Chains A and B, each alone.
Chain A
Amino acid sequence: MSENIYKPYLMKVAEVRDETPDIKTLKLEFRDPAEAEKFSFKAGQFGLYSAFGAGESTFCIASSPTRKGYIECTFRVAGRVTSQLRDVNPGDTIGFRGPYGNTFPVEEKFTGKSITFVAGGIALPPVRCVIWNVLDMRNKFKDINIVYGAKTYQDLVYKDELQQWQDAKDINLIKTLDPGGDKAEYGCNNWDGKMGFVPTVLKESGINGKGGIAVLCGPPIMIKLSLPVLVELGFAKENIYTTLENKMKCGLGKCGRCNVGSFYVCKHGPVLTAADLETMPDEF
């Protein structure tokens, strides 16, 4: 019988982490060890995660492809499916379809260069998978800069990993909060990072973009404001990578929902460069 492309893998929830009051990370392992053996993906790809009974939702694979045997996803609780995913416990089963989409050309184009990661708020997960992919092969790259900010201290995701990156000697981490985001009511104790919006902090960072690669992800407004700053810092447009998000249902190029012009985010994306963005209709 023909293969059913809509059939998900069954995944066991191995770990649940609360990143913020409304953002969770799930660590998932394949229930079928044969499937775990065969499975592989590359940085930038995404999947459709099923909460059986509620439906499917699209998130990137937030863990690095260098780490075998499990995948991680991070999501904000925003609707029907994510509300049900919020309530899962370790041992529960959810579904996963993937990996779909194109990838960051880490081996093909990033090696030997300096990489600058820029992300805001909930947009860190798709970038985090590339960060760990790169860090797991640290000696293949030159400088690593990470510029990450959120609205308030509470909204920062992967707080322990931020600390690891801050402590590491070979990573330049610049973390920032929006003005007013360091108040005690947000759980903040002695904020030792910058204060200001990500594009502003990026501008003042002194990072030299010449010959380097930038990986940028954030809400549309942040991308809009950060792109010119990156160009100013010396990054070439074809070296600025971003990952797009659009409403998706099938992830396979069939349901007709995620296209921006003839660019299907699930097939031709989600990874694209700033040079590509310029050729697309302003329908985003």
Chain B
Amino acid sequence: MAEIIINREKMTQLLHEIAGGETEVFAPVLKEEAAYITKISQDTPIHYDFFITVNSVKEAIFPRYEPILKYKIDQEGVKLEDIPPMKPIVLFGGHPCDAASLMLMEKLFGWDYNDHFYLDRRNKTIVITLACNEFDKDCFCTSLGYSPHGEIGSDILLESISKEAWKAKAVTDRGKAFLEKHTALFNATEKPDPAFKTIQDKDIPVGFDKDAVKPWIKENFESEEWKKITSKCWSCAACTYVCPTCHCFDITDDASMWSGIRTKNWDACTMPIFTLHASQHNPREAYYQRYRQRIAHKYSYYVDLFKVISCTGCGRCSRVCGAGMNILEILTRISNLAKKGGK
């Protein structure tokens, strides 16, 4: 089959065309010197010269806040209103670590009760992923079995052949249909640039033993080591909100006398009042308990429930942390302690 090549100019044209219709398009946009995945309109400039976006693709499928119920209150009582069906989405600009995270989140949102807000949106999303050309010291996808040019979770994988062009590979039937539908734009004539460097799995060395983390956490839940690991953390939610697999949320009402809307909003287990009871008892009152919960949930509890670690090694949490916490360092430390049999 002929190679399917697309360049930046045609990609911008494609995304702008689609954004003019019913479909929502999310793509990287430059804001104050950094790239963010944002919903775009027909004329939003799309940014391509970035290593990784600050935020993750989860914004597109699990928005920061969304209505889950609307109601009206009148003399006769309460009337509930349906939320309109989810719109289709084209999601461009994530890396393989982002695409993989979508598969992980599906497990939770489909656990016994189907959260159609997430699942319907996910099913209506075309994921166009950019294979990685760079990495930094905070990346560790390979330590978790993922790859800088992995296909899991994507519909179309774009691998760079030169600075401004990619060859496109359909990973799923949905991706194939998309390529066929827009074949006129996927016919750029750029030739591969032999000098252009891409990265392979071996370039990102495995940093720690991922299977050693859960047993250590189970056996050392009360270890003093947690206080040492977390002493700097100041319990904000920056790591949680940029993380592609963090999914905690709050449900709040916003209403007047006569009508209201109930929304699902992002929340974070790292926040001080996340587990505060009405009786004022707080099972996770101390900073180290909350950070321990975040790591334990991703590397231990999620594994108990769904047999998979809820992390794809994108490293965003480490990059965004103002206090200098580094998850790769912590996991490496735990893995080393586990090997030594230490506490």
Contacts and interface: CB of A to CB of B under 8 A. Distances in A.
Say what secondary structure dominates the interface of chain B: mixed
B111 A254 contact: yes
Interface stretch (A1-9, A134-142, A149-157, A162-170): A1-9
Given A4-B69, A31-B77, A79-B278, A249 B251 contact: yes
Interface of B: 68-69, 71, 73, 77-78, 80, 82-83, 85, 108-109, 111-116, 119-120, 221-222, 247-253, 255, 257, 260, 262, 264, 267, 269, 274-279, 281, 283-284, 289, 293, 296-297, 300-301, 304-305
Interface string A1-40: 1111111101000000000000000000001000000000
Contacts, number: 125
Q: Among the interface residues A31, A253, A282, which one has the most CB atoms of the partner chain B within 10 A?
A: A253
Interface string A27-56: 000010000000000000000001011111
Interface stretch (A111-119, A124-132, A201-209, A256-264): A256-264
A252 B114 CA distance: 9
B114 A3 contact: yes
Given A6-B264, A78-B278, A255-B248, 15 more contacts: A3-B116, A5-B116, A7-B80, A53-B253, A55-B262, A82-B278, A93-B77, A254-B109, A254-B113, A257-B269, A259-B301, A262-B305, A281-B221, A282-B221, A282-B222
B279 A78 contact: yes
A259 B294 CA distance: 11
Contact of B83 (A4, A82, A220): A4
A260 to B, nearest CB: 8
A246 interface: yes
A55 B253 contact: yes
Q: 7 closest pairs, A vs B, by CB?
A: A2-B116, A256-B248, A78-B278, A262-B301, A53-B255, A262-B304, A6-B68
Nearest to A10: B78
Contacts of B83: 4
Contacts of A284: 283
A192 interface: no
Contacts of A55: 251-253, 262
A262 B78 contact: no
Interface of A: 1-8, 10, 31, 50, 52-56, 78-79, 82, 92-93, 95, 220, 245-247, 249-250, 252-257, 259-262, 264, 267, 281-284
5 contacts: A8-B69, A92-B77, A253-B108, A255-B251, A282-B222
B108 to A, nearest CB: 6
